[in-house]
Chain A
Amino acid sequence: MYGTNALRAGGFLVGNLFAALGGVFLLPRPAMAPGWADRRRARARRWLGTPAESSPTTRRWLLVNAVTGAPAGLLALLVLANIIVGVIGMTAWWALPAANRPRLWVDLRIDGWGDALGLGIPQVLVLGAVAQYVLPVLARAQARLLAPSGRERMAARMATLTKTRADVLDAHGAELRRIERDLHDGAQGRLVAMTMELALARQAVRDEPDAAEALIERAHASAEAALSELRDVVRTIYPPILADRGLPGALSAVVARSGVPARLDVGELGDVPAAVETVAYFTVVETLTNATKHSGATAATVVLERAGGGLRVRVTDDGVGGADESRGTGLAGVRRRVLALDGEVTVDSPAGGPTVVTVELPCGW
C-alpha cells in the first residue's frame, strides 16, 4: 500500500487549502462553520483514520485553519505536483518542444537523458519521501485542530450528562408509573373483586349455601388471577431467576432456550448492580427473541464484558439484518430501560446482516 497514505494525506491537505480559502470568505458568517468543519472531519476519518469527534466549531477554527491550512495545503500541492512533473520529465521530456520542457529542481531544464535521469530520479525520491513521511504528520496535525480541546471535551461531557440525567429521571419516572399502573390495573383490581366476592359469600353462607359456594369459587379464581398478575409484574421488575442464579446463570438459561442456537461468553464481571443486571438480562431476552422472530438467523452470540467502568452486552446474529426499532416493541423497550440507567444502545443491522446490538451500561466501577 506504499503511497496511499501519502496520497490521502496530500489529498486531505489540498482539500484543507480550499477549505482555508473558503473559510476566509465565511469569517463574517460563522454559522456556516460547523457544517464545513464536519465535512472536513468526515474526510479526516475516512482518509486518516482519526476519530470524527465533533467539537463546537467557531470563527476561531476558521481563522486557525486559514492560517495553518493554507501553507500546509500549498506545500502538499507543490510536493504532489512536482512528483508528477518529475515523472513526466524523466520519461517523456523528449516529446515536448524545447521551450516547454518540464523543469526539475525548480528551474533546471532537461536537455538530454542524462539530465532527465540524473535530476529526475532524485527529485521523485526526495519529494516521494516528503510525501510519505512529512505529509501524513502535517495532515494529522491539521486534523487535530478539528478535534475538541480538553476543555471543550469536558464542557460537552457536562452538557451530555445534564441532558442524560434529565432523561434518566424521566425514564425512571415512567418506569415507576408503569409498575404502579400494572399493579393497580391488575393485581389490586383482582383483590378488590375478591374481597367483595368473599363478603357476599359470607352474607349468603347460611341462607343460600349454593350461591355462597359459587361466590367462593369466584373469589378463588380472583385470587389466582391476582397471583398470576403479580408474577408478571415481578418478572418485569427483577426476574426471579436473576435473584436465584445471578446474571451468568440466568443468561445461560435464556441462551439455552433461545429459538436461534446461541452461544454465551461471559467474562469476569465482578459485582454488577441489580438494576444493571436486570437491564442486561432483558436486553439479551429481547434481542434473541427478535433474532428468532425476524432475522432468520442460524446462530447468535451473546458477549458480556466489563468495559470502561461499565458493563457491555453485545448480541450478534447472522440473520438478514434490517432490524427496525419502530417495527417491534422489543428493541424500543430495551432502549427505554437502558436510557433509564444512562446507558447507550447501538443497533448495527445493515440489509443482509449481520445484526449487532451493543448496550453499554454504566456501573460506577
Chain B
Amino acid sequence: MRLVIAEDNVLLAEGLQLILARHHVEVLRVVETADGLLAAVEECAPDAAIVDVRLPPSFRDEGLRAAIAVRRRREGFPILVLSQYIEQAYATELLSTGHHGVGYLLKDRVGRVAEFVDALRSVAAGGLALDAEVITQVVRRRDDPLEALTPREREVLGLMAEGLDNATIAARLRVSDNAVHKHIGHVFAKLGLAAGDPGHRRVLAVLTYLDALPR
C-alpha cells in the first residue's frame, strides 16, 4: 500500500511513518497543508491518504475540508481522517461523500498499532472505520432508539462502526461468534432496520446514529 500523509506535527508524522514502515506500508510524501494534500494526491497517485483535521495556517478544520474536496474530486478515494477530538458533525460531513473508503479516528488509536493498521487497510479496501467515540457522543446526546440498546449492544455497534467483521468483534469482546450475531440481530431490530443486505444494514445502523438518515 502507498500512502500520503497530511500532518503538521513532526513527532506524530514520524511516529506514523515508523509504524507504517513496520507494516510494509510505503509513505510517498508527508505534507503539512491542505493544498499540499491536494497536490500530493494528484502527483503521487497514492492508494490512500491519512489526514489530520487541523492543519496550518489557521489550525481549524482545513484537513477535513481538504479530505472532503479530494473525495468530491475522486469518488471513493480512501481517506483516513485523524483528530484530537471526534465531532459528530465532521463524521456526518465525511460520510456525505460516500460510505466507502472513509475513516475517522481519534489520534489516540494510533497507539493501538495492530488495530490502527487494520482500520487503515479496511479503509484502503473501501471499508468504513469510525471511532467508537462517535457512537459514545450520540449516546450521550440523544435518547431515541439508543435508549433501547443495552450497553453490550452499544459496544457491538461501536465496533461495527469501526468497520470490524463479526469474527473480529467476537475476538475483541471475547465472546462467541454466535453471541455477536445475536447482539447484531437485536441492534438491527431495535433500530427498525428490516432484513436485507447485511453489509448495507451494518452501514445503515451506523448512519442511524450519525443522524445522516432523512427523518
Q: Contact at B108–A253, with CB atoms within 8 Å?
A: no
Within 8 A of B (CB), among A246-265: 252-253, 256-257, 259, 261
Contact flags A219-252 to B (C-beta < 8 A → 1, else 0):
0100110011001001100001101110000001
Contacts of B89 in A (CB 8 A): 241, 252-253, 256-257
Inter-chain CA distance A240–B137, complex, in Å, is: 14
Contact flags B28-59 to A (C-beta < 8 A → 1, else 0):
00000000000000000000000001100000
Q: Given that A231-B85, A244-B54 are contacting pairs, would A293 and B143 also be in contact in the complex, using a CB cutoff of 8 Å?
A: yes
**Within 8 Å of chain A (Cβ to Cβ): is B142?**
yes
**Within 8 Å of chain B (Cβ to Cβ): is A358?**
no
Q: Which listed residue (B60, B106, B108, B211) contacts A257, Cβ 8 A? A: B211
Contacts of B111 in A (CB 8 A): 220, 223-224
Contacts of A261 in B (CB 8 A): 215
Inter-chain CA distance A235–B215, complex, in Å, is: 28
B163 to chain A, nearest CB (A): 20
Query: Which B residue sits closest to A240, measured CB to CB?
Result: B85
**Within 8 Å of chain B (Cβ to Cβ): is A132?**
no
Contacts of B144 in A (CB 8 A): 259
Q: Which listed residue (A240, A252, A257) contacts B84, Cβ 8 A? A: A240
Q: Given that A245-B60, A259-B144 are contacting pairs, would A240 and B87 also be in contact in the complex, using a CB cutoff of 8 Å?
A: yes
Contacts of B142 in A (CB 8 A): 257, 259, 292
Q: Which listed residue (B53, B84, B108, B211) contacts A256, Cβ 8 A? A: B211
- How many of A's residues come within 8 Å of B, CB to CB? 22
B34 to chain A, nearest CB (A): 13
Contact flags B52-71 to A (C-beta < 8 A → 1, else 0):
01100000110000000000
Query: Which B residue sits closest to A243, measured CB to CB?
Result: B60
Within 8 A of A (CB), among B201-215: 211, 215
Inter-chain CA distance A245–B138, complex, in Å, is: 20
Inter-chain CA distance A240–B90, complex, in Å, is: 12
**Within 8 Å of chain A (Cβ to Cβ): is B17?**
no
Within 8 A of A (CB), among B101-116: 106, 108, 111
Q: Contact at B141–A241, with CB atoms within 8 Å?
A: no
Q: Contact at B87–A256, with CB atoms within 8 Å?
A: no
Query: Which B residue sits closest to A246, measured CB to CB?
Result: B60
**Within 8 Å of chain B (Cβ to Cβ): is A289?**
yes
Contact flags A252-290 to B (C-beta < 8 A → 1, else 0):
110011010100000000000000000000000000010
Contacts of B84 in A (CB 8 A): 231, 240
Q: Contact at A253–B87, with CB atoms within 8 Å?
A: yes
**Within 8 Å of chain A (Cβ to Cβ): is B166?**
no
Q: Contact at B87–A259, with CB atoms within 8 Å?
A: no
Contacts of A289 in B (CB 8 A): 141
Inter-chain CA distance A245–B111, complex, in Å, is: 28
Q: Given that A224-B111, A240-B84, A292-B142 are contacting pairs, would A256 and B61 also be in contact in the complex, using a CB cutoff of 8 Å?
A: no
Inter-chain CA distance A293–B84, complex, in Å, is: 29
Inter-chain CA distance A241–B86, complex, in Å, is: 10
Contacts of B138 in A (CB 8 A): 257
Inter-chain CA distance A240–B88, complex, in Å, is: 12
Q: Contact at A227–B108, with CB atoms within 8 Å?
A: yes
Q: Contact at B143–A292, with CB atoms within 8 Å?
A: yes
Query: Which A residue sits closest to B61, measured CB to CB?
Result: A244
Q: Contact at B85–A259, with CB atoms within 8 Å?
A: no
Query: Which A residue sits closest to B142, measured CB to CB?
Result: A259
B120 to chain A, nearest CB (A): 19
B182 to chain A, nearest CB (A): 29
Q: Which listed residue (B61, B106, B141) contacts A245, Cβ 8 A? A: B61
Q: Contact at A256–B60, with CB atoms within 8 Å?
A: no
Contact flags A2-38 to B (C-beta < 8 A → 1, else 0):
0000000000000000000000000000000000000
Q: Contact at B92–A259, with CB atoms within 8 Å?
A: no
Within 8 A of A (CB), among B157-215: 211, 215
Inter-chain CA distance A240–B61, complex, in Å, is: 10
B54 to chain A, nearest CB (A): 7
Contacts of A292 in B (CB 8 A): 142-143
Contacts of A220 in B (CB 8 A): 111
B117 to chain A, nearest CB (A): 16
List of 5 A-B pairs having minimum Cβ-Cβ separation, nearest first: A253-B89, A244-B61, A244-B60, A240-B85, A259-B142
18 pairs of residues in contact across A and B, judged by CB atoms under 8 Å: A223-B111, A224-B108, A224-B111, A227-B108, A231-B85, A240-B85, A240-B87, A243-B60, A245-B61, A252-B89, A253-B88, A256-B89, A256-B92, A257-B141, A257-B211, A259-B141, A259-B143, A292-B143
Q: Which residues of A contact B (CB under 8 A)?
A: 220, 223-224, 227-228, 231, 234-235, 240-241, 243-245, 252-253, 256-257, 259, 261, 289, 292-293
Q: Which residues of B contact A (CB under 8 A)?
A: 53-54, 60-61, 84-85, 87-89, 92, 106, 108, 111, 138, 141-144, 211, 215
Add 12 more A-B contacts to A231-B85, A241-B87 (CB < 8 A): A227-B108, A234-B85, A240-B85, A241-B89, A245-B61, A252-B89, A256-B211, A257-B88, A257-B89, A257-B92, A292-B142, A292-B143
